């Protein structure tokens, strides 16, 4: 290993003490096509040299252990919950209803899956959120981008948005029931209202805060306004658009539960509310856990999508 | 007729408080074709404003700027800009960045490919074609930016302190590269810098600006053969002269201690 290292250090491009980048061009007569290849072997040898100086990577099972070790508090929480609720029932029998143990939640899930209703609740809720947030994206992203791009549109639309935005989505519930009746449309409307503003306002910020230099560069390279929008403003605003969608999805998910708690024929919020009337607190907890897990999963999917669509962007 | 004519140009900017101030006052100069023309001056003297006017990003309050006899009314590829902070599109790799202006010009595909390849080679970035800007060093980014500007075949290259954020070795290397490219490509270059040494090393003529109000105070002709040796006594003298003059401009008085005398008294 050390031999490899010494060979690397003696080889000309690095012995010059220059960055490989500079030497690539400075060596005028040398054919340039040869340079990257030489750099490649040199950098591979350097990687080997670096590897020889640090302890070898831990085996796979240790890495997995490290990966999941930050979950220990969550595990501890579940175990303590189980113990408290099982032993607590001996002291206070009411705890059976007030705090069912995690195992009871699991058996509730198995029970509801067997009866074929749990999947329906999940799918219904997911569909409502996706339809509503999708609509918010379809309307909110273009509006936000237009407002961010054109000060005149922003100037015209700002007062209306500023007026509607502070009204909590939940305050719309009574009116929305009058308009749409009880059902999917009404709940989707509430979720839409909740998700629309974060989506639109983040898109606005993304388009408005594009680096002036990038706009100037585009213009001086001959881009027309439409091209400038498509090649500079839109990609530049993408990170903010994704942030808006993630926030919108999160808030929409909360609004979903609130909407379904008040009036719904199905869904996870309905599951919780219905279980309340039946004193089935294991179902209530199941509904809560599922909402948490699904919210987490949706956010994870959004992050993965962002990484896929914006390979140049880091830190999402 | 000179290629670039700047006549009686004044520009009023508004301060944060909304007070108008004269960023440029009655600026006049001309730049010939294929000339390397530098603009130096203390910060706040309106160098960048002047370049923005030439690029067409801003319009003058008074006076006019012409290129080839035509008024500058908007940005355009014939006056390509190289920015201090590179202004590369982060979402495009090296190829797509260099190709940006060619696409806007609607050149045929094979022509685009040929030009992109040529200019990436010219700035020595073969092998880095598919990297994103954030995967490149500062010097490499600036080279992409230069290739992007050259690829559209501008008549004039406008450079706004292009090497200011590079380390000293990279900067000197890039200056040499720029001179080589300039000699090969026959371009008019208008080069804004705050470094007098840089201006003297590169330019045919140097416009020296003063501030409040921003104005062109003097235009120096630099006649030395290239490549120029910065230790050449005549060049040292010229640099000292300009620096001395600028210091008076910025601080309003003679330096308290003559630097040459200070060296002697301490040794």
Q: Please list the residues that pair with B188 across neighbouring strands.
A: B156
Residues 6+ apart with CB under 8 A from A173: A186, A190, A258, A259, A262, A263
Reported confidence tier of residue A7, pLDDT bands at 50, 70, 90: very low
Report the pLDDT value the prediction gives residue A57, as an integer from 0 to 100: 81
A195-209 per-position pLDDT tens digit: 999 999 999 999 999
- Domain layout of chain B by residue ranges: 4-71+161-167+187-266
Please say if the pLDDT value at position B60 is more than 90: yes
Contact A235 B91 (CB under 8 A): yes
Interface of A with B in 198-227 (CB under 8 A): 211, 213-214, 216-224, 227
Q: How many CA atoms lie within 13 A of B113 on its CB side?
A: 3
Mean pLDDT for chain B overall: 90
Residue of A nearest to B106 (CA): A222
Report which listed range, A251-265, B203-217, B253-267, is most confident. B203-217
- A and B: number of Cβ contacts within 8 A: 94
Q: Residue B7 and residue B28: Cα distance in Å, rounded? A: 5
Please say if the pLDDT value at position A45 is more than 90: no
Contact A217 B139 (CB under 8 A): no
Task: Kindly state whether B170 is in contact with chain A, defined as any CB-CB distance less than 8 angstroms.
Answer: yes
CA distance B240 to chain A (A): 30
Contact B100 A221 (CB under 8 A): yes
Q: Residue B118 and residue B113: Cα distance in Å, rounded? A: 9
CA distance A212 to chain B (A): 9
Mean pLDDT for chain A overall: 85
A237-287 per-position pLDDT tens digit: 999 999 999 999 999 998 988 888 887 889 999 999 999 888 899 999 999
Report the pLDDT value the prediction gives residue A34, as an integer from 0 to 100: 41
Please say if the pLDDT value at position A59 is more than 60: yes
Three-state secondary-structure class, residue B137: coil
Report the pLDDT value the prediction gives residue A5, as an integer from 0 to 100: 43
Rounded mean pLDDT of B21-36? 94
B72-129 per-position pLDDT tens digit: 999 999 999 999 999 999 999 999 999 999 999 999 999 999 999 999 998 889 999 9
In this prediction, the answer to ipTM > 0.85 reads: yes
Task: Kindly state whether B155 is in contact with chain A, defined as any CB-CB distance less than 8 angstroms.
Answer: no
A152-192 per-position pLDDT tens digit: 999 999 999 999 999 999 899 999 999 998 889 999 999 99
Reported confidence tier of residue A12, pLDDT bands at 50, 70, 90: very low
Contacts of A310 in chain B (CB under 8 A): 91
Mutate which of B55, B59, B86, B100 to disrupt the A interface (most A C-beta within 10 Å)? B100
CA distance A66 to chain B (A): 29
Contact B83 A211 (CB under 8 A): no
Please say if the pLDDT value at position A31 is more than 80: no
Q: What is the pTM of this model?
A: 0.80
CATH topology of domain B4-71+161-167+187-266: Rossmann fold (3.40.50)
Residue A190, classified by CB atoms within 10 Å of its CB into exposed (0-12), middle (13-18) or buried (19+), is buried
For strands B215-221 and B4-14, give the pairing: unpaired
Report the pLDDT value the prediction gives residue A315, as an integer from 0 to 100: 53
Contact B90 A25 (CB under 8 A): no
């Amino acid at each position: 290993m050390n031999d490899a290292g010494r060979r690397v250090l003696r080889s000309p491009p690095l012995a010059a003490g220059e960055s490989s980048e500079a030497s690539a061009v400075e060596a005028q007569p040398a054919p340039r096509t040869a340079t990257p290849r030489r750099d490649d072997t040199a950098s591979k040898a350097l990687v080997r040299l670096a590897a020889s100086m640090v302890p070898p990577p831990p085996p796979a099972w240790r890495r997995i252990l490290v990966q999941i070790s930050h979950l220990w508090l969550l595990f501890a929480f579940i175990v303590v919950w189980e113990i408290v609720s099982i032993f607590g029932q001996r002291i206070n029998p009411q705890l059976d209803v007030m705090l069912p143990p995690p195992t009871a939640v699991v058996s509730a899930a198995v029970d509801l899956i067997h009866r074929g209703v749990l999947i329906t609740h999940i799918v219904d809720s997911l569909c409502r959120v996706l339809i509503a947030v999708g609509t918010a994206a379809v309307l909110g992203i273009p509006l936000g981008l237009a407002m961010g791009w054109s000060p005149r549109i922003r100037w015209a639309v700002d007062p209306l948005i500023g007026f509607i935005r502070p009204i909590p989505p939940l305050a719309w519930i009574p009116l929305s029931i009058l308009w749409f009746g009880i059902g999917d449309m009404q709940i989707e409307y509430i979720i839409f209202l909740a998700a629309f503003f974060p989506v639109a306002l983040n898109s606005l910020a993304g388009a408005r805060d594009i680096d002036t230099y990038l706009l100037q560069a585009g213009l001086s390279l001959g881009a027309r306004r439409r091209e400038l929008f498509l090649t500079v403003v839109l990609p530049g605003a993408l990170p903010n658009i994704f942030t808006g969608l993630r926030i919108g999805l999160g808030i929409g998910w909360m609004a979903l539960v609130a909407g379904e708690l008040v009036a719904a024929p199905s869904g996870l919020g309905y599951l919780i509310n219905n279980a309340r009337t039946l004193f089935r607190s294991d179902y209530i907890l199941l509904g809560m856990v599922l909402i948490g897990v699904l919210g987490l999963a949706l956010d994870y999917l959004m992050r993965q999508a962002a990484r896929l669509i914006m390979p140049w962007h880091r830190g999402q | 007729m000179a290629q670039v004519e700047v006549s009686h140009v004044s520009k009023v900017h508004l301060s944060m408080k909304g007070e108008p101030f004269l960023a440029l006052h009655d600026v006049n100069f001309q730049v010939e074709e294929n000339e390397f023309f530098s603009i130096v001056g203390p910060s706040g003297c309106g160098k960048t404003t002047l370049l923005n006017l030439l690029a067409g990003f801003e319009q003058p309050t008074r006076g006019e700027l012409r290129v080839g006899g035509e008024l500058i009314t908007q940005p355009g590829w014939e006056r390509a800009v190289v920015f201090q902070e590179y202004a590369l599109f982060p979402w495009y790799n090296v190829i797509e960045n260099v190709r940006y202006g060619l696409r806007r010009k609607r050149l045929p595909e094979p022509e685009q490919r040929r030009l992109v390849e040529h200019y990436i080679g010219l700035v020595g970035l073969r092998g880095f074609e598919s990297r994103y800007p954030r995967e490149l060093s500062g010097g490499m980014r600036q080279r992409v930016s230069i290739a992007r500007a050259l690829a559209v075949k501008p008549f004039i290259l406008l450079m706004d302190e292009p090497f200011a954020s590079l380390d000293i070795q990279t900067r000197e290397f890039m200056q040499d590269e720029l001179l080589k490219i300039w000699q090969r490509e026959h371009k008019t270059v208008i080069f804004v810098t705050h470094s007098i040494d840089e201006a003297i090393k590169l330019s045919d003529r140097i416009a020296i600006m003063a501030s409040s109000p921003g104005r062109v105070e003097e235009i120096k002709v630099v006649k030395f053969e290239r490549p120029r040796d910065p230790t050449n006594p005549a060049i040292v003298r010229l640099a000292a002269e300009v620096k001395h003059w600028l210091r008076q401009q910025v601080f309003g008085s003679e330096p308290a201690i003559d630097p040459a005398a200070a060296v002697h008294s301490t040794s």
